[in-house]
Amino acid sequence: MRYIKKFRQPGAGWLPKGDENMEDKTLRTTCLQCGGPIPKERQHGWTKYCSIKCNGRAQYIKLNPYAYKPVRTTCMQCGGPIPIEKQHFLTRYCSRKCRSRVYYIKLNPYANKPFRITCMQCGGPIPPKRQNSNTKYCSDKCQKRASNIKYRLHRKLHPKPTIKLEGSGTLSTFALGSVGESMACIDLIKKGYQVFKAFLPGQLCDLVILKDNKFETTEVRVGRIRSGGGMEYTKPKTKVDVIAVVLPDKVVYKRPGG
């Protein structure tokens, strides 16, 4: 754009060609960049800034939208102040520890789970040293008591399998297993198997059966019939060929995985 020199007042500067009527336009008195007053010698129709520095700053902001973003002074993780030497429009955390904590929470959704402050067993306060996202009880004593209550409730809903005996009386777990093995041996002998029983507990299997020159390892389990149908018994930890499930009125044989 060509400019012509036209005197309006001392320090008026230059007016663009064809805009001589800008002399009648209301003059701006405050800077658009810093908000300060514009010197009188710079006040004319198109002046927006009080100095060349503010003008350059405004042009820089137009080219860099994030250059004039407000600086954060508080940490987004802990809420503490950010050191002055670290303050920047991109800085959001006061330290590397807070930044690592934020990324850890993003990768582990349950890491920022609120802590429980009251015990689920006795209702008392949980000591601060024990407070974390997984703590439910104020002490080991309350934890053991709650575990015992859960165990008794589980046994009430799911009683241990039993074998009906004539008369009244109770059997220990060891005696119940021995009676179950004896019942399984009698049933296998009736079916024509040769049965070899382990002399000591804790062996690889309870029984070894033989028929048609074929040996098979057998594990005996005492089971029960569920109310909804199906059998419930403890699966053996060792690999065997046959599982003999002793029920109150019969013995059922199953193949592992079958």
Within a domain: residue 164?
A: no
148 or 70: which carries more pLDDT confidence? 148
Using an 8 Å Cβ cutoff, are 44 and 19 in contact? no
Give the whole-angstrom CA distance, residue 88 versus residue 110. 31
Contacts of 165 (CB under 8 A, 6+ apart): 171
Q: Which tokens is 258 given?
A: 């079958």
Q: What is the pLDDT of residues 153-177, one digit of tens each?
A: 887 777 666 555 554 455 555 577 7
Question: Given 11, 41, 63, which residue is the final one in a domain?
Answer: 63
Does residue 15 surpass a pLDDT of 50? no
- Where residue 249 sits, what CATH number does that domain have? 3.40.1350.10
Residue 235: pLDDT band with limits 50, 70, 90: confident
Report pTM.
0.38
Residue 15 located in a structural domain: yes
Q: Supply the pLDDT for residue 166.
A: 52
208 or 202, which is more confident: 208
Distance between CA atoms of residues 102 and 108, nearest Å: 10
The per-residue pLDDT for 5 is: 44
Domain end residue (candidates: 63, 92, 109):
63
Give yes or no for residue 131 having a pLDDT over 70. yes
The pLDDT score that the predictor gives to residue 12 is 46
Give how many domains the chain has, as a whole number.
2
- Residue 235 domain-assigned? yes
Residue 236 lies in a domain: yes
Q: Where are the alpha helices (DSSP H) in the chain?
A: 52-63, 96-107, 140-157, 173-190
Residue at a domain's end among 15, 44, 63: 63
In this structure, is residue 233 part of a structural domain? yes
Which pair of structure tokens corresponds to residue 47? 């002046």
* 119 found inside a domain: no
Tens digits of per-residue pLDDT, 55-109? 888 888 788 766 666 778 899 888 889 988 887 777 889 999 888 888 887 887 6
Tell me which residue range forms the domain holding 34. Answer: 3-63
- Asked if residue 200 belongs to a domain, the reply is yes
Residue 165 has a pLDDT of 53
Residue 80 inside a domain? The answer is no
